[in-house]
Chains A and B, each alone.
Chain A
Amino acid sequence: MTTIAPKSVADDFPNYVAAYVAQRASNVPAIQEMRERGWEAFNNLGLPTARRGNEPWKYTNAGPIARQSFTYSDVSPGSDDALAIADVQGIAPWQPDWRTLVVVDGALAPGLSTGNVAGAGIATGLADAVLADPELGATVLGSLATPDEDGFAALNAAFAGDGVGISVPAGTDAGVINVVYLTTGREQPRATHPRLLISAAPNSHATVIETFIGPDVRYLTNTVMETSVGEGASVEHYRLLLEGPEAYHVGVSRVVQQKDSTFSSVAIAHGAVLGRNDFGITLAGTGAECMLNGLYLTNGDQHIDNYINIDHAEPYGTSRLFYKGILDGRSRAVFGGNVTVRKHAQKTDAQQTDKNLLLSEEAEVDSKPSLLIYADDVKCGHGATAGHIDEDVVFYMRSRGLDLPTASRLLIHAFASEIIDTVALEPLREYLDERFRNAIPSASIALPIGGRS
C-alpha cells in the first residue's frame, strides 16, 4: 500500500481516500502497480471540474460527479446471486452463439456469463486474463489509457479491480464477445470502475460489444477500455450506453492501431443523466483505418458528451468520424471531435461529421469539430449541422396522407438509421433498431417546431 501524501487534490474526496486505503491489494503485480500509479495521478489531477481553461471539459461540468459521495465495497466476484441469466437476457443484447461476460457492480459474475461458446483466444476476468497473457499486462494495461491523462482515467486505474481482458492470438477469429456491465440497485450511490482490455494480435479479428446497464437510481460507472489492434488485425467495437436515467457515466476508451489494421466502432448513447464518451484513437502504423460512428439520443435533463480524438501519427491513414444526435426535452449534447494529422502523416484521408436534430425549444447542442493539420499532402474535411425536422418534407408527407406523428416519427427514424445501419452485426442491429423505435420521443413530435400546422 502506498503512503498517501499529506496534502493532495484527493483530500477533497475523502471517500476516495478511505476506499483506496481500504482496498485489498491485487494479487496481480501489473494491476497493483497500475493502481499505485493511478492513485498518484489522481492525487495530482483530482477530477476535471475546473471551468476555466479546461478545454476537454469545456461544455461538460463534472462538478455533480465530484460532489456526489459514492460508496465502494470491495465486491467479490459473483456477489449478487439474485440475478439470473434470464434477467440479463431481458435487458441486454444476447445471442446464444456469443461469448457473454457479465460484470456486476464492477466484478465479473461467472455465474451469469456463458463460457467459451466459440471463437479463439482468451476472454475472461481482468486479473485472470492478465495472468494468462502477461503481454496484456505489460503492453496494454495502463499503457494505452495512461492514468495521468485524465482524472477519471486515474481514478479508474486506482480502483482497478475487475473487468474483462480479451486476448486474440495471431490469425484467429475470436467471434463475438459480449461484455455487459450491470450495476445493481443500491440505497447508497455506488461507483464502479470496470476496465476492458483487448489485444488483437496480427491478422486476427474480434467483435466486442460493451453494454452499460443499470437501475433507476444514482450511481457512477467510470470505465476504461484499452485496445491494441495489431498489424493487419481488425476489431469491430460496439459501445451501448444504456445506463439508468439517474446514472453518471464516464468512459475513457483508447485504441492504438498498427499497420494496415482496421478498427470500427458504433457508439450509441441513450441513457445516463450525465454521460461522457471519451474516445481516443491513435493510428500508429501506416495504412491504418478507423471508422467511428455514433448516435446519441437525449431527453429530459440528460447531458451527453462525446469527446473523440483521432491522431494520425503515420502516413496513409484513413479515418471516418460520423456522429449524429437527436435531442429532446431540456437535454444537452456535446460533440468534441479532434482530428490531428502529424507532420509526417502524409496521404492522410480524414473526414468528420456531426449532425444534430433538435426536437425541443430547450435542447442545446454544442459541437466543436476541429482539425489540427501539420502535414501538407492530406485530404481532410469536416462538417457539422444542426437544425430541426424539415417542414417542407413533413408537408410533403402529410400531403400524401401520413398524419403528423407518423411523418415525424418516420423522419426521425430515417435520421437515426444512417448510424444504426452501420452496425454490421445483424442481431445487434435489430436489437438497436427495435430499442430505438420505442425510444423515439413522442412528446415533441406532435408539432414540428415553428411549424405552420
Chain B
Amino acid sequence: MTTQAQRVISRDTTSEELDSDYQWGFTIDIEQEAIPKGLSEDVVRLIAAKKNEPQWMLDWRLKAFRFWSRQTYTEPTWANIEHPPIDYQDMHYYAAPKSAADGPQSLDEVDPEVLEAFDKLGIPLEEQARLAGVAVDAVLDSVSVATTYQEQLEKAGVIFCSMSEAIQNHPDLVQKYLGSVVPYADNFYATLNSAVFSDGSFAYIPPGVRCPIELMTYFRINQADSGQFERTLIVADEGSYVSYLEGCTAPMRKTSQLHAAVVELVAMEGAEIKYSTLQNWYPGDRNGEGGVYNFVTKRGKCAGADSKISWTQVETGSAITWKYPSVILQGDNSVGEFYSVALVNNWQQADTGTKMIHMGKNTRSTIVAKGISAGQGQQTYRGLVKINPSAKGARNFTQCDSLLVGDKCGAHTVPYIEVKNPTAQMEHEATTSKVSDDQLFYLQQRGIGVEDAHFMIINGFCRGIFQELPFEFAMEASQLLKVSLEGTVG
C-alpha cells in the first residue's frame, strides 16, 4: 500500500492548496481482518458469527441472502447508468481492522494510524468534538472504532452507537425497527445489504428529547476491493428532534468498488429528523477508470402525525450514483423534504432523486433538486410523487434545475407523478440551461476570471440547497464543488 498525500486536509484548507485531482486518495496501512472473497451462505453465517450476533439477526440475514440468491432476482436496469457487470463473487464481504477486535474503550485505545487517517480527512476527533460540538461515530471500513460525546448523549437519553453494539445492547429496538422502512426484499442492493451488512450507525431519540448535538458519522472505504455495506437506522420517538450528518470520502482505488448502503429513518408523532449527506467518494480518473459505485437505498417513514423528515444531499463523488432518498408520509400533516445538489464531471454518472409517497391527510412535500453536469458527465433526476387516495389535501412542490457546463455532458429529468386524490395540489417545474453568457460577460468585465466567474454562478445556483446544510457542511460543500469543477472551464 502506498501513502500518496501527507498533508492534512481540513475544513480550513484553502482552494490553492487543493488542485483538481482527488486529494483524499490515500490508504493507510492498517492490518485488516478480511474473510475470503465471494458470497455464500457460509459467508453470511461467518459475518454473523464474527460479530457474535443473536440468532434472530442471523435468520434475518439468511432470509435476505436466500431471497437475493434467487435466479430471477436481478439488478434494476431502469436507471440511466452504464457499467460493466458486477462480479459479486469477486469481492470481500467483511473487513474489520484487526486491532479493533478487543474494542477500544476510549480514544487513547484507538489505533494511532486510524486516528491519523481521520486527521487527514480533517476530523481530528477530540478537537472536532470540542470545537464543533459534534459526536463522531467514525466508521473505518466496517467496524466502528471510536464514539465521542457519549456521556452528553447518555445524559439526554439518546442512544447513538454502531449497529453492532445496538444489536448486542438494544436488541428489542433493532428487532422492532430494522427492515420496517426498507424491507429485506425491497430491491436487489438492499437485499444484498440485508444479508451481509457489516456495521453502521444506530440512533434512538427518546420521546420529547431534542438531541443536544448533531450526530455525525464519517464513512470510509479503506480496504482494496471490499464492498462496503453500511446499515443505518435512526428512530426519533414522539416529539423528538435529531440532526444527523453523514460525510463520505474514500481513498483512490484502481478497481471499481461497490457501496450498497441502506439508511432507514423512523419519525414518530411530532418528531423531526434532518439527515444531511456530503458524498465525495472517489469518482474515477479523468478517463472514467475506477471509482465507487454508490448504490444506496435511503428511506424515511413519517409514521406519526405531524412528523417531519428532511433529506439534504450534496453529491459530488462516486463514479456512479444510484440513490433515491425517499419519504413515506404516513402520519397526517407530516412533512417530507428533499434538497439535493448533484454534480457530475469527467465520466461520472448520477441517477438520483427522491420518492414522496403521500398517504396521510394534509401531508406536504418539497423537492428541490439542482444538477450540474460537466465534462462527459451524465445526470438524471428521477423522482416519484405519489398521492394515494387517502392523502386528502396533500401538497407537493417540485423544482428540478439543471445546469450544463460544456457540450459533452447531459442532464435529464424524469419525474413520475401519480395523483389519486383530487384534493391534492401538485406542481412540478424543471428547467435546463447552460451557464448564462450574459452573466459570465458581466462578471468578466468586472475583472473576474472566467473560471471564478463560472464558479460564482454555479455556487449561486446551489445556494438554496447549501443553506439547508449545517454550517460546516455548507462550507465544505461549496469547497468541494469548486474542487470538483476545476479544470472544466476556461
Contacts and interface: CB of A to CB of B under 8 A. Distances in A.
B407 A376 contact: yes
B417 A367 contact: yes
Interface stretch (A32-40, A77-85, A356-364): A356-364
B397 to A, nearest CB: 10
Given A368-B414, A371-B413, A385-B426, A379 B419 contact: no
Contact of A380 (B77, B406, B426, B432): B432
B251 interface: no
Contact of A387 (B408, B418, B424): B424
Contact of A383 (B411, B424, B425, B429): B429
Contacts of A346: 407
A6 interface: no
B154 to A, nearest CB: 48
A369 B407 contact: no
B404 interface: yes
A347 B421 CA distance: 39
A382 B408 CA distance: 22
Given A53-B78, A383-B428, A450-B392, A369 B415 contact: yes
Contacts of B432: 371, 373, 378-381
Contact of A375 (B78, B407, B418): B407
B419 A386 contact: yes
B422 A358 contact: yes
A376 B406 contact: yes
A356 B428 CA distance: 12
A388 B392 CA distance: 12
Contacts of A374: 410
**Band of interface residues on B:** 35 or more
A358 B424 CA distance: 9
A41 to B, nearest CB: 23
B77 A53 contact: yes
A306 to B, nearest CB: 14
A267 B424 CA distance: 26
Interface string A333-377: 000000000010010000000001011111111111111111111
A363 B402 CA distance: 32
B212 interface: no
Q: Which of B404, B417, B426, B434 has the most CB of A within 10 A?
A: B417
Contacts of B407: 343, 346, 375-377
B268 interface: no
B422 A368 contact: no
A30 interface: no
B179 interface: no
A65 interface: no
B439 interface: no
B430 A381 contact: yes
A397 interface: no
B422 A388 contact: yes
B236 to A, nearest CB: 31
Contacts of B422: 358-361, 363, 387-388, 449-450
Given A374-B410, A376-B407, A368 B415 contact: yes
Instruction: In the A-B complex, list the 7 residue pairs whose CB atoms are closest, starting with the nearest.
Output: A358-B422, A376-B404, A370-B414, A367-B417, A450-B423, A384-B428, A386-B419
24 contacts: A59-B418, A343-B407, A346-B407, A364-B420, A367-B416, A367-B417, A367-B418, A368-B414, A370-B413, A370-B415, A373-B404, A373-B410, A373-B411, A374-B410, A377-B434, A378-B432, A379-B433, A383-B427, A385-B425, A385-B426, A386-B425, A449-B422, A449-B423, A450-B423
Given A371-B414, A383-B428, 12 more contacts: A361-B421, A363-B422, A365-B418, A366-B416, A369-B415, A370-B414, A371-B430, A375-B404, A379-B432, A380-B433, A386-B426, A387-B426
